[in-house]
Amino acid sequence: MSVILLAIILVTGPLVLGAARLWIELPLLGVVTLLLLLQAFRLKAAFSQGVPIQIDAIDGAVVLFVFYAAMRWLTSPTEYFSRLEIMNIFAYAVVFFTCRYGLVRRTHGLVLLGLLVPLGLFETAFGYYLINHRDFFPFGPSEQLQLYYAPRWVGTYGCPNHYASLLTMAIGAALAFGCFSKMSWPMRIVLFYVAATMMIGVIHSGSRGGWLSLIASIGGLTIFGIRQGTLRWWIPVSAALLLLVSFGVVVALSPYEQSRFTNVTETIQNGQVSGYVRLELARDALKIAHDYPIFGTGPATFAYVHPRYQDSTFNRKAVLTHDDYLNCLDDYGLVGFGLALFFVALVTLKFFQPLRSDHRWPDRVLVVSGFAAWLALVVHSLFDFNLHIPANAFLLFALTGMGLRGLKRDEGARSWSTFSLAPLGQWLCWALVFLGLVYGVQVWRSAMGDIIYEKALADALFASPEYSIQSGKRALEYDGDNVQALVFVGDWYRYQASRERNIEGRIDQGQKALEAYQSAFKANPLDDAIQSRMGMTFDVMRRYSEAFFCYKAAVVAQPYNGQFWNVLGNHYWQRGMLEKAEQAYLLAAHCPHGFEGSAAAAAELRSILSKRGVPPPVPGTNPLEPAPAPVEENEDATPEGTTP
């Protein structure tokens, strides 16, 4: 049963957008709940039969990090998004321990590893198909990332970097079977051919981090072949060099892949390295770590903290840092980062442990495939965020767990780094059952709330405001901390308020919007966009002074956010403060990610002000500074198309 549940988790994730969307991620976490309960009862049976069960320092590092992450969730400023990340972390731990200790037979590990090879081959073929059929959107019209990344291959992931990592792990598995198993030579030759085919997918992903991870994976296979193989050292070295040279030749002959290197060269030659997006992200991440050094900002908070640190040259909205290590440092501080590095160091050293002479070929295949995947993702995590993509994280921890299983020590052997679970006995089993039930409840309420919210969001263009509001409220009945649903309800109440003809109706609907926004802001005080929405609501209610302070808080927190300056411009225009409105629109237009329409609004205001003899604003003028009292408010003065 365990192997079936693991197969569902490990295969489904890569086939559906890397499981990086809640509508597929949360159901997979439900499968993890079943897996945890099953393992708890199997552990109970093992204790009843007197089977000696031990854990080591690696397991201890996992338990400590999960416990610390749970504590940070309970103290996080944004409970909802932190909860989602902690549920993933807990799931990775369950998969890791199941693959290390919970598989009944080693053949089950080989089955799971064998599934990875055809999965990688399918992804390669699908990447080729999708890039030649760009009008095909397998996950709906909203998932069109292949158009953004074309001509890079993305497979079913929507992102070439994570697609490349999956193929790298699949290549490692194919080569492990081909080099270290005792299959017939025709079958092993087929596996070599399959591995070479998947390398084409890695090449055409255009992921430079993926290329480095493939080199690391081949390096791991070579190291293992030298230390644990039965052939002379020069044979695995020669094979690895031949593979890498062939890989390099194909890259060199591909015009697009060469352009990826040319971009880097030109960036360096033009002195634009400091403006390279990943270096900017790394620089900003270090600033965040400097201000929150010990415990970090909280799990999954980077997307909301980073805009407060980005400078005037960064023109994107970053969700993650493109570096798992820096993301860990920012979110969990030095404590969490230290625990993560402790785990990385222990696992790496463990993989260099020599195999016992009585190890059979299945153990060798599991160990080398785990080692190759481990080195590949440890390297790629320096340049991307594969550990924040559930499908790849599940695969990595599954392969690592199975690889460490192949290095399993003799039961009953004790050392300073091992700890027997016998004293805990049945209490541990029932504690795991209780933990599994609590985890399942969290997954269920998160999933139910998200399902209703996402359906309401999809129907919003065609449904009435009343239906959307009621749907959002139903989502909140399951998960009252769902920030997205709270904002959704607030937006629709604000829309209702803006359509009311009398001030009493505006105030009534606006107050309901404010209540939803205030609840959302309480659930996620790091989201400055909620402040901006509250300001627009106050504008609808004609409570201008309160609106101004909301806008001010937003633009002070994120001075390079064009949308915030634009809505401030709308606010000033509505109040008749045209000079300040022009200044705000100009700032919006010149932001690195400016707001569409700001420049046109500024030009329209300049035409009006020029007729009045008002000179253009002095560069550097701050529209937040005090100004003369506003003229009489005039509802008709609101610019067309800018209704709050």
What's the confidence (pLDDT) of residue 277?
Answer: 81
pLDDT band at residue 82 under the 50/70/90 scheme: very high
The winner for highest mean pLDDT among 22-31, 143-152, 631-640 is: 22-31
What's the confidence (pLDDT) of residue 364?
Answer: 87
Q: What residue type is 39 in one-letter code?
A: Q
How many whole angstroms separate alpha carbon 630 and alpha carbon 578?
A: 9
What's the confidence (pLDDT) of residue 55?
Answer: 79
Q: What percentage of the chain reaches a pLDDT higher than 90?
A: 60
Q: What residue type is 349 in one-letter code?
A: L
pLDDT band at residue 592 under the 50/70/90 scheme: confident
How many whole angstroms separate alpha carbon 585 and alpha carbon 580?
A: 9
Across residues 5-17, what is the average pLDDT?
A: 94
Contact 153, 160 (CB under 8 A): yes
What's the confidence (pLDDT) of residue 636?
Answer: 41
Q: Return the minimum-mean-pLDDT range out of 55-64, 412-421, 527-536, 598-607.
A: 412-421
Across residues 600-615, what is the average pLDDT?
A: 90
3-state secondary structure 108-129: HHHHHHHHHHHHHHHHHHHHHH
Q: What is the DSSP letter of 78?
A: -
Q: Rounded to the nearest 5°, which phi and psi values hold at 593? A: -120, 70
Across residues 369-390, what is the average pLDDT?
A: 93
Summarised one tens digit per residue, pLDDT across range 259-311 is 766 666 766 766 666 667 888 899 999 999 999 999 999 999 999 999 999 88
What's the confidence (pLDDT) of residue 628?
Answer: 47
Helix or strand (DSSP H, E) at 56? strand 54-56
Across residues 326-341, what is the average pLDDT?
A: 96
In 159-316, which residue ranges form alpha helices assigned H by DSSP? Answer: 160-180, 185-205, 208-228, 234-253, 255-269, 277-291, 302-305
What's the confidence (pLDDT) of residue 638?
Answer: 44
What's the confidence (pLDDT) of residue 221?
Answer: 87
How many whole angstroms separate alpha carbon 217 and alpha carbon 222?
A: 9
Out of 1.10.10.10, 3.40.50.2300, 3.40.50.2000, 1.25.40.10, which CATH number does the structure's domain 470-637 have? 1.25.40.10
Across residues 224-229, what is the average pLDDT?
A: 75
Higher pLDDT, 468 or 627: 468
The residue to which tokens 């790298």 are assigned: 168
Across residues 511-522, what is the average pLDDT?
A: 96
pLDDT of 487 higher than 90: yes
Domain ranges of the chain: 2-432, 470-637
pLDDT of 643 higher than 50: no
What dihedral angle (degrees, nearest 10) is formed by the CA atoms of 190, 191, 197, 201? 160
Q: Rounded to the nearest 5°, which phi and psi values hold at 152? A: -70, 145
Tell me the CA distances in angstroms from 267 to 4, 259, 275, 312, 350, one per residue in order. 48, 12, 9, 19, 40
pLDDT of 644 higher than 60: no
How many whole angstroms separate alpha carbon 450 and alpha carbon 388?
A: 19
pLDDT of 4 higher than 90: yes
Tokens of 599: 């420049």
The winner for highest mean pLDDT among 115-129, 313-327, 420-434 is: 115-129
Tokens of 129: 């198909």
- Asked whether the CA dihedral 264, 267, 268, 273 is positive or negative, the reply is negative
What's the confidence (pLDDT) of residue 634?
Answer: 46
Q: Which of 122, 200, 118, 191 minimizes the C-alpha distance to 157?
A: 122
How many whole angstroms separate alpha carbon 161 and alpha carbon 134?
A: 19
pLDDT of 473 higher than 70: yes
pLDDT of 356 higher than 70: no
Summarised one tens digit per residue, pLDDT across range 425-458 is 678 888 889 999 999 999 999 999 999 999 999 9
What's the confidence (pLDDT) of residue 642?
Answer: 41
Q: What percentage of the chain reaches a pLDDT higher than 70?
A: 89
Contact 120, 167 (CB under 8 A): yes
Across residues 202-208, what is the average pLDDT?
A: 90
Tell me the CA distances in angstroms from 534 to 465, 481, 488, 573, one per residue in order. 19, 18, 13, 18
Summarised one tens digit per residue, pLDDT across range 526-578 is 999 999 999 999 999 999 999 999 999 999 999 999 999 999 999 999 999 99
What's the confidence (pLDDT) of residue 640?
Answer: 40
Mean pLDDT of the chain: 87
